[in-house]
Amino acid sequence: METYTPTNRTQVHRLPKRAVYDKAQVHAILDEGRICHVGFVLDGQPFVIPTGYARRGDTLYIHGSAASRMVRESSSGIPISVTVTLLDGFVLARSAFHHSMNYRSVVILGRARLVTDADEKMEALRSFTNHIVDGRWEEVRPPTPSEMKATSVLALALEEVSAKVRTGGPIDDEEDYALPVWAGVVPVRLEAGEPIPDERLAPGVATVDKGRVLSGGS
């Protein structure tokens, strides 16, 4: 089993039994997620920016506009933090104090680099597209040179990484188990609804299979 080695910055100290360093589990969380939050500090002011991403091997590619402050500052070599969180359920306890959530989350620390190689950048954009809808890149128009110029891609090595996972039901105080209050887990999941066609969709174009949405890999 391959694992990420915890560092002083990624070692989980609070509820360490929930810590996960196994690479396969970390990658599975990243591959299921669709939005990451990029944190950085600029002139003493912290910022956290949501954006799209895709994983390829041990590299996380982050999508952004070329005019984005997040891209501009992160590509300068400053330390950044990236988080991805999946909500799996609401944990309802018999007391307000013990209510919780079942979740899977990943934290990545490091310094990103701006992707300047044309082939690597194009492959990252393909990964972004197919991460949302499986095989979508192969059926749409590829980016033009001007669109490529307007889009930036950051690459962050998956080196300082940890995950945290909570599963299971509520843990109440012993004296509360007799209370006449419902307790348990309400599962939560993200799923694709029925596709809504664009008003200017050309006649005869087949509807996208919603089963391909959210199932895309990289």
The reply to whether 49 falls in a domain is yes
Q: Provide the CATH number for the domain around residue 129.
A: 2.30.110.10
List, for residues 94-122, the tens digit of each pLDDT value.
Answer: 999 999 999 999 999 999 999 999 999 99
Q: Answer yes or no: is 7 within a domain.
A: no
Which residues are within 8 A (CB) of 175 and not within 5 positions of it... i.e. 6 or more apart?
Answer: none
Residue 67 located in a structural domain = yes
Structural domain boundaries, residue 68: 16-192+199-212
86 assigned to some structural domain: yes
CB 103 within 8 A of CB 86: yes
Enumerate the H helices of the chain as residue ranges. 23-32, 69-74, 118-132, 145-150
What's the total number of domains in the chain? 1
Give the pLDDT score at 217. Answer: 58
- Whether residue 1 is predicted with pLDDT greater than 80 in this model: the reply is no
Residue 17, pLDDT score? 74
